Structure 1
Amino acid sequence: MLALVAFGFVLFNGVYGEANISISGNVMTKPSPSPGLDPNKWVNISLTCVGDKGLSYFITNHLNWIFESNVDGNVTQLTKQSFYNTTADYKYELEYREISVTDGYFFKMNIYNVGYSDDGTYSCVLYRPDKSIIVKKDANVTVIHPVDNVKMSLRKNENDSNQMDLTQHIKEGKYTIQCKVTGSNPPPVIDLTLVNGRSRHVNKELIKTVKDRRVAFTTTATMYDTLLLKGNRTFICSANLPNDVLQKYPEFHSVNTAIQVNVITTTPIITCNSPSSKDGEFAAQCQLKSHDQLFCDDASLVTMHNGRNMTYEGNHTSPGINISCTAANQTALTVNLQISKQKVMEVKQIVVRYSMTAEYEVPFYDATTTTTKSTTKDHRSAATAVGKLETYLSQLLVILVSTTCIAMW
């Protein structure tokens, strides 16, 4: 007997080297109908672990199935002392047989009456005689649950905790649109779109929760800084289980919701004081006033330099340019501009803009001559005025000369 055991140990650690195992793939399944009392309606699944030819009957005590729950995180050893002892009555059935002399051994676990609590990772673990692990192979079991709820919200910015009343008009500007999907397992696929409009990249955040002893994922899709202009705008959010689940269970349907908002125009009056230049540095202050509420996030500064437009939004600080926006009240903003001497030498034009509805071109001083720069449009206007004045004076001179000559005659 000792010789036989020794021979098994040699097979395990010697002639064939250390043994190996493989496991069947991941499983996705619906749960058994609640309460699952009728065995004919149970949903049952099987997981298979195959040991290579290095395994033998004498070392089967060193192979165990282990379950780590996704519901509570507990780890349960499903086999104890020998492969045939299980921890739960009639829940697990384990089969063992030799496939062939060359193909190794077959260790199959049947899981009966699958419920949401069976969601987790099942591991087939092969041990050495000293209980150290040779190899561990995992199979994930996902017990499917469809999407419970889809809810959308609209906020002025991402840090605004107040959800807007979607039944009222909103002002033009940039908004954060969110779609929150709850209840599904596995995580849902979300499609958040702006109908007949352009939208920025959608960011997604995934949170795993446990609800009523089942895994439920909450996924939030967010569009940041989405510019909404005048007119009716519609956002649609659609959520469903992933395609690989739907191919197996096509009965699950998408859950959709939509919001429609009427965007109205806010056109403030923009005025700027006479800019100042000290040591070549440019500074100016602009006032924005309206009958409607104004937001600093919608105020921006546009500069033309180095052959391209640069837009600086809200409060901005960068090398050579500083912009601060404060709200005097709900309908008035103050924007302060500071541009360094080096930047002023590069700048060709400065425009204060509110959303896409109002803008004001700010005259500014050349840092090298301390004279006011003018736009091309201003040069043309001045040239036209001078031309008209010259024409008028010429005509007046002709009339005077003609009159003098007639009088002398």
Structure 2
Amino acid sequence: MFENLNERLERSFQLLKGHGKITEINIAETLKDVRRALLDADVNFKIAKSFTATVKEKALGQNVLTSLKPNQLMVKIVHDELAELMGGEHVDINIKGNPAVILIAGLQGSGKTTFSGKLANLLKTKRSKNPLLVAGDVYRPAAIDQLHVLGEQIGVPVYSDKDNKNPVKIAEAAIKEAKAKGHDLVIVDTAGRLAVDEEMMKEIEAVKKAINPSEILFVVDSMTGQDAVNTAKEFNDRLDFDGVVLTKLDGDTRGGAALSIRSVVDKPIKFVGTGEKMEALDVFHPARMADRILGMGDIVSLVERAQEQFDADEARNLQKKIAKNQFNFNDFLSQISQIKKMGNLKDLASMIPGVGKALKNIDIDDDAFKGIEAIIYSMTPLERENPTLLNGSRRKRIAAGSGSNIQDVNRLIKQFDETRKLMKMMSKGGKMSRMMGNLPMRKR
């Protein structure tokens, strides 16, 4: 995410290294390079020019800070301005009403249907909502089928009517059904087109007028760059939507949409899609995104994702097992499963400061745990429960059963033993207890 922009900005800041203070002369080349980096990231020219002018004004107006070097001070100013450019403060979704109605709009291929499923999943699991998904795309039969598949995955019902070709009537009928069946949230997926056209706009305006949604979200593919911003403006002029959703932010995106869209439409970015999994949807926080753009990681979001998967009761039980040296391969499998639910592995690693840069040209397969899981699943239940039973003959059988070799099995068991010893030492010293005590994990 934003690797190229991060690299370009970092190079720009290096131009100030070795200078004792910021002056109009030595800042000129840096800001010129920053502006080029933003333009290469497909940021609107006027926005890039205004951005660097603001940074220059603030940098030259700063009092001398002895604790910060000029390049460090420039990083701080650029960070704060990037956050401001993307909206400054996080703006929450409006889910008031009984039921609350959310209308999803956007072009065909922007990821509306997938986002609708992700949003239903997020609001069901994190806000305890009882959502109903509505298949309002009457032109693409595959969209209706896709929404049903997604609904089944996340345990959310889907309202559809393949015989009805009127999206207004479908939406109205869905809201009646939601009221009758006690759903407190309705998410209406709508049809998209390959380009903005008058027929499409009139249709979605009619749906909006009929159902009076509490929230309208415009979904845009962030990989389309500046085109995404132009499309957002056209939609906003007609729909006056409440917020923007950037999808496919985990792809080879240059970041222009994220950095430009707020300034152009004056509407907040509320969510970003970061992968194909139903859990791969993040609430948008401008300051955290600025951290990531500048390669500072995003520890807060990483901890939040961890808290969603690890609950207090499980943590206490695990701590007891570690203290008694009873941590086994079943526990190990459980931990792997929870990590996988947190999202794309490379994306998770990039949230740790400094790690994103180190992994820039390294691919981390989402199936990275497959080999480890295959070895553990080739163990008998007794062996997983009692790792000390794993002698030479058992290891050979496990290697053959998992399609790996004896070296792979030995390496995993050695790493497991070392991890268990380290956890035992931390438990004895009280460090494990303090760590878990300081993490306010969710109780299920």
More helix by share: 2
Same-fold status (TM-score > 0.5): no
**Structure label with greater radius of gyration:** 1
Please classify the TM superposition score into its range, dividing by the shorter chain length.
Answer: under 0.3
- TM-score, normalised to structure 1, is 0.21
Q: Which has the higher contact order (CA 8 A, sep 6+)?
A: 2
Give the TM-score normalised by the residue count of structure 2.
Answer: 0.20
